[in-house]
Amino acid sequence: MHCVRCGLQHRADLRPCGSVAEATEAIVTELRALPPVPTVFYGHSMGGLLAVAVADHGAARCDGLVVSCSVPGADALRVFGPPGSEEEEGLTQILSRHGLAPDALGNTDLAPPRRTLAHDLAFTSRLLAAVSGTRLTVPLTALAGRDDPLVPAEVLPWWNRFTTARCTAKLADGGHFFPFTPDVLLAELRASLASACRATRSRARAVRAGAVPAPE
């Protein structure tokens, strides 16, 4: 598994993400090599959508999901309102909200971090379409910053559509990057993982008692 430091400047030389399927399969391949223990996925912003896509893949264990400052599907963009004109939508709208022109992907004059951001946003646009209609079966916690100018708190209730299990929505003080002051985030991750562990133990007891079939 290859880890990269946070910050667009540290990823300027990396190849942009290709298809959602390619990225998802690469992550699932890494996860399959890990021990089968209770597992909670966490994703921030674009990463929240990617976590949903990986959880929906079904080949990697996921007992819970925590997302922060992430847009719950392409249709949730309407909550934002038009960023400049009523004709702007989809990728153009996303680029505009981040201060980028519609031609940003092909603009070779952009500074490397801005080019990386443009490609991240293009991948975000593909993820928004890919997770449309996704219905997971694991508990989901969605977090938003009270002062986030990119993903308003009004979209939090839309996360209910993404799971048939419990969905919890919470506000935290701060903006789009509030998880970098991690008190709230760590508390939610601990709670989600503890819940996953309890569910795993409960299922193991039920299997031993013959109440439910053993997993294949």
Going along the chain from its start, the domains and CATH numbers come out as 16-204 (3.40.50.1820)
State the number of CA atoms in the 13 A half-sphere of 125 facing the CB.
16
> Tens digits of per-residue pLDDT, 24-66?
998 898 888 888 888 899 999 999 999 999 999 988 889 999 9
Let me know how long the chain is.
216
| Rg of the Cα atoms in the chain | 18
CA atoms of 74 and 76, how far apart (whole Å): 5
Strands 140-145 and 40-44, bridge-based pairing: unpaired
Report the candidate in 122, 63, 69, 130 with the shortest Cα–Cα distance to residue 94. 122
pTM of the model: 0.81
Report residue 182's pLDDT band, with 50, 70 and 90 as the boundaries. low
Which amino acid, residue 162?
F
Could you tell me which residues come within 8 angstroms of residue 206 by beta carbon, excluding any fewer than 6 positions away? 212
